[in-house]
């Protein structure tokens, strides 16, 4: 007999409003008996239908809602139609060569991330509900995209919380060492095997294009540059010079290759810890017209927010201090725990500490191919500010 989960009184309100997760501590009682990973029904304390999903007794997130239609059949066609709907949304917005095709809960596909890189796909399966439907998902992707190859990057820290093993490797066709994509008219090489996340940060694509207006004829410093997405856009805009800084030699090797295939001669690399590099620049009174800060997430749990806040503040103070008067600090955070109000407060304090007068030129979030649910804070994670430093 399939599981039926009854929520404690009042716990259904958040889920009815659209949040996709049911936590183990919200359950009043469970009726029926089935294996872990089976499809179950979630009801309110008084028996009203709330939704359906696949149960995972090994996770604090007991159920991730996948359907709010009691009569809907959850089969391979369900996955095909849901993924196709997600892809059509991106195509409607003009995404073509490279984009996030499926964004987990935001696309009603809990635990599934699919990034399209040209003719190839990079896939992350990070929840039991996606893992047990792996075959239906992969078959649907092949049918929709006809890709030359699919690479799996299910090596996220989230996987352990779901009780799943890490999986990486080619799962369909063939995948080259480097995939050349077109982003904003620029050639970029993506290494899905060794690059971060699924190989490349597509969520900043639109924001990378936005830096062009602040880069023409400018001396630009791109910190935490990774493979050089911001650097290449600055170079394409006609920057006088671009210095790409990262602690990773692998990342800097990618920057050099990306500059080479685009014919950019105005890009140089600098290896080092960004905090130390900025302190050295300040000491040497070296400044730039535009400074870009795109650090990795400083906090991945709520318990780390206090220390992360200090880290974000320190790096932004340093950044502000080496921007020439009238120049720009372009700064972001990809941690959903560093909320927009908290990030804004941090920038205000950093401005006061730096002694610089700051104006906000632009505020953005992740690209439209990374949609966020209005009542799911976890899916709205990227904050991107362009600050005019006076």
The CATH number for 201-389, chosen from 3.40.190.10, 3.40.50.720, 3.20.20.210, 3.40.50.150, is: 3.40.50.150
Residues known to be catalytic? 334
Rounded CA separation 390/305 (Å) = 29
Measured in degrees and rounded to the nearest 5, phi and psi for residue 164 equal: -110, 150
The pTM is what?
Answer: 0.94
Q: What is the residue-wise DSSP string for 170-218?
A: EEEE---SSEEEEETTEEEEE-TTTSSTTSS-GGGHHHHHHGGGGTTT-
Homologous superfamily (CATH) of 4-67 is PUA domain (2.30.130.10)
Rounded CA separation 118/155 (Å) = 22
Query: What is the residue-level pLDDT of the chain in tens, covering all 390 positions?
Result: 689 999 999 999 999 999 999 999 999 999 998 899 999 999 999 999 999 999 999 999 999 999 999 999 999 999 999 999 999 999 999 999 999 999 999 999 999 999 999 999 999 999 999 999 999 999 999 999 999 999 999 998 889 889 999 999 999 999 999 999 999 999 999 999 999 899 999 999 999 999 999 999 999 999 999 999 999 999 999 999 999 999 999 999 999 999 999 999 999 999 999 999 999 999 999 999 999 999 988 988 888 999 999 999 999 999 999 999 999 999 999 998 999 999 999 999 999 999 999 999 999 999 999 999 988 777 789 999 999 999
Write down the domain spans for the chain.
4-67, 76-177, 201-389
CATH architecture of 76-177: 2-Layer Sandwich (3.30)
Q: Encode 205-240: b = buried (16+ Cβ within 10 Å), e = exposed.
A: bbbbbbbbebbeebbbbbbbbbbbbbbbbbbbbebe
Rounded CA separation 194/209 (Å) = 24
* ∠ CA 261-265-268, rounded to 5°: 100
């Amino acid at each position: 007999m399939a599981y039926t989960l009854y929520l404690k009184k009042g716990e259904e309100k958040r889920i009815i409003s659209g949040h996709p997760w049911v936590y183990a501590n919200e359950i009043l009682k469970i009726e029926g008996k089935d294996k872990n990973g089976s499809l179950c029904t979630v009801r309110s304390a008084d028996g009203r239908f709330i939704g359906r999903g696949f149960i995972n007794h090994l996770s604090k997130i007991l159920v991730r809602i996948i359907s709010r239609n009691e009569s809907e059949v959850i089969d391979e066609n369900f996955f095909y139609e849901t993924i196709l709907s997600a892809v059509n949304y991106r195509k409607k917005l003009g995404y073509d060569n490279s984009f996030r095709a499926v964004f987990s809960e935001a696309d009603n596909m809990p635990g599934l991330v699919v990034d399209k890189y040209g003719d190839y796909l990079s896939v992350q399966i990070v929840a039991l509900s996606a893992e047990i439907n792996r075959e239906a998902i992969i078959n649907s992707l092949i049918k929709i995209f006809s890709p030359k190859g699919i690479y799996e990057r299910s090596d996220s820290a989230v996987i352990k919380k779901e009780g799943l093993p890490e999986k990486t490797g080619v799962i369909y066709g063939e995948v080259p060492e480097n995939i050349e994509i077109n982003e904003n008219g620029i050639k970029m090489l993506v290494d899905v095997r060794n690059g971060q996340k699924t190989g490349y940060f597509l969520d900043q694509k639109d924001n990378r294009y936005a830096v062009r207006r602040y880069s023409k004829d400018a001396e630009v410093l791109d910190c935490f540059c990774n493979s050089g997405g911001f650097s290449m856009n600055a170079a394409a805009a006609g920057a006088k010079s671009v210095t790409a800084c990262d602690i990773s030699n692998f990342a800097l090797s990618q920057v050099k290759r990306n500059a080479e295939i685009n014919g950019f001669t105005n890009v140089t690399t600098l290896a080092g810890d960004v905090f130390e590099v900025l302190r050295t620049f300040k000491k040497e009174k070296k400044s730039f017209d535009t400074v870009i800060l795109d650090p990795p997430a400083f906090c991945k749990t709520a318990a780390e927010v206090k220390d992360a806040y200090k880290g974000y503040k320190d790096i932004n103070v340093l950044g502000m201090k080496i921007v020439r008067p009238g120049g720009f600090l372009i700064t972001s955070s990809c941690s959903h725990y560093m909320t927009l109000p908290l990030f804004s407060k941090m920038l205000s304090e950093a401005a006061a500490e730096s002694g610089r007068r700051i104006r906000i030129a632009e505020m953005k979030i992740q690209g439209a191919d990374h949609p966020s649910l209005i009542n799911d804070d976890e899916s709205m994670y990227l904050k991107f500010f362009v600050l005019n430093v006076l």
